[in-house]
Amino acid sequence: MKIYINGKYFAKEDAKVSVFDHGLLYGDGVFEGIRSYNRRVFKLEEHIERLYESAHSIMLKIPLVKKEMEQAVIATLKENKLDDAYIRLIVTRGEGDLGLDPRKCAGKATIIIIADKISLYPEKFYKEGLAIITVPTVRNLPEALNPQIKSLNYLNNILAKIEAVNLGYDEAIMLDSLGYVAECTGDNIFIVKRGKLFTPPQCMGSLRGITRDAVLEISRREHIAVHEHVLTRHELYISDECFLTGTAAEIIPVIKIDGRQIGEGKPGKVTLELMKNFHALTRIEGTKY
């Protein structure tokens, strides 16, 4: 495996950054998780755009223009001879000192690109659906650390994941500070009710997922009504279908929430149709390499 760090490739054992890197010391940086299918990077421009938006918001200057970053991602895929991959793109504030002050890292952002084989959830989850649970840790407040910023500071999500795992579940529903449904630890959430699709609006404290946007795009094309609407747990419990979306998970059906069976307790018709359409889209769309 060849890992890209600041324009150079390193073997896995030699791919190292300084212990004074503010990405490590403070989670001070941004990242993206991207997938490629069949030698096409899915929604590459959208991922790069979101990375630069996150960086802009935290005043982190990325020393490459967007096109150069896209090329770096593609070069790393080629270097690793991967046709289907999961790509982790990381930009940290870089090496500083033991103080918080970001000026100490001025102009020395660290860029890391790791391209690896796809780490899919077990096939069983896609066929049978997931059971998930609401956890006590609420999603970061937008006015504190906005969930739209895909920062290296993921403790909020990791705490929620720990709570789910401790209770014997693989994924957690996180609420916002008002008690409305926000998202899962690394996925957005959708429900289907009477043939219509609902997902929380992105301003309510969830990440604007690129898979979420792709599902909205497919739904509109397939004439499925979609509503970006505030959701409570009650709406989830009485939904006909539920599923999660994310680059890693793609589209994964949910069949149980907080002990309540969803619909018929198996992946629903609309979910299965969207999964099929999504897979078809990943085959034909994307930046070729």
Which residues are known to be catalytic? Answer: 150
What beta strand segments (E) does the chain contain? 2-5, 8-11, 29-37, 40-41, 85-92, 110-116, 130-134, 172-175, 181-184, 188-193, 196-199, 226-228, 241-246, 250-257, 260-261, 287-288
* Interface characters, 155-174, with ligand PXG (x: CB under 6 A): --x-----------------
> Which residue, 145 or 248, has its beta carbon nearer to ligand PXG?
248
How many angstroms separate the CA atoms of 254 and 99, rounded?
44
According to DSSP, the residues that pair with 196 across neighbouring strands are 193
Diameter of the chain measured on Cα atoms:
57
> Which residue, 85 or 249, has its beta carbon nearer to ligand PXG?
249
The alpha carbon of residue 212 and the mean position of all alpha carbons in its chain are separated, in whole angstroms, by 10
According to DSSP, the residues that pair with 31 across neighbouring strands are 90
> Which residue, 105 or 211, has its beta carbon nearer to ligand PXG?
211
* Interface characters, 19-58, with ligand PXG (x: CB under 6 A): --------------x-------------------------
Residue 81: strand, helix, or coil? coil
Minimal distance, residue 106 CB to ligand PXG, in Å:
28
How many angstroms separate the CA atoms of 137 and 158, rounded?
10
Q: Does 2 bind ligand PXG (CB under 6 A)?
A: no
- Residues 75-134 contacting ligand PXG, CB under 6 A: none
> Which residue, 63 or 142, has its beta carbon nearer to ligand PXG?
142
Minimal distance, residue 246 CB to ligand PXG, in Å:
4
Q: Are 109 and 63 in contact (CB under 8 A)?
A: yes
How many angstroms separate the CA atoms of 62 and 69, rounded?
9
> Which residue, 105 or 111, has its beta carbon nearer to ligand PXG?
111
> Which residue, 64 or 248, has its beta carbon nearer to ligand PXG?
248
**Cβ neighbours of residue 264 closer than 8 Å, sequence gap 6 or more:** none
Minimal distance, residue 98 CB to ligand PXG, in Å:
27
- Residues 220-259 contacting ligand PXG, CB under 6 A: 245-249
Number of residues that bind ligand PXG (CB under 6 A): 16
Please give the DSSP secondary-structure letter assigned to residue 149. Answer: S
- Residues 180-209 contacting ligand PXG, CB under 6 A: 183, 186-188, 207, 209
* Binding stretches for ligand PXG (CB under 6 A): 33, 157, 183, 186-188, 207, 209-212, 245-249
